[in-house]
Amino acid sequence: MEAPMSTQEIIQALTDLPPADQLKIAETALQHLQQNRQSLTKEQRRQQMEIAAIAALDDYSTNSELTAFTALDGEDFYEECEQGVN
């Protein structure tokens, strides 16, 4: 039996395919993931969300473009708008 392809091998093979085939594979993979998610228990879904949040934490701590709008936190935007309208 042949060993399964590694993630890197799959990604490389995917980039060698025409865009229409890449899209078909992406759609099929997404459908597969959605079906698997529906079979998870509430606790398993919670654990997946926790893992995803931890993974995203690094992106949000190192990429200022993802947090650019937090510079507005604490400002009273609506009050400033009302003063500009009057």
28 and 67 both lie in a single domain: no
Residue 45 has pLDDT above 80, yes or no: yes
Domain that holds residue 9: 1-39
pLDDT at 13: 93
Q: Mean of the per-residue pLDDT values for the chain?
A: 84
54 and 71 both lie in a single domain: yes
4 and 21 both lie in a single domain: yes
17 and 56 both lie in a single domain: no
25 and 14 both lie in a single domain: yes
Among the residues of the chain, which ranges form H helices?
7-15, 19-38, 42-62, 77-85
Interatomic CA distance for residues 72 and 78, integer angstroms: 12
Interatomic CA distance for residues 52 and 19, integer angstroms: 28
Residue 1 has pLDDT above 60, yes or no: yes
22 and 55 both lie in a single domain: no
Q: Mean pLDDT throughout 17-22? A: 95
Domain total for the chain? 2
Helix (H) or strand (E) holding 2: none
Q: Mean pLDDT throughout 39-67? A: 88
| Residue 22: Cβ within 10 Å count | 13
Contact 37, 45 (CB under 8 A): yes
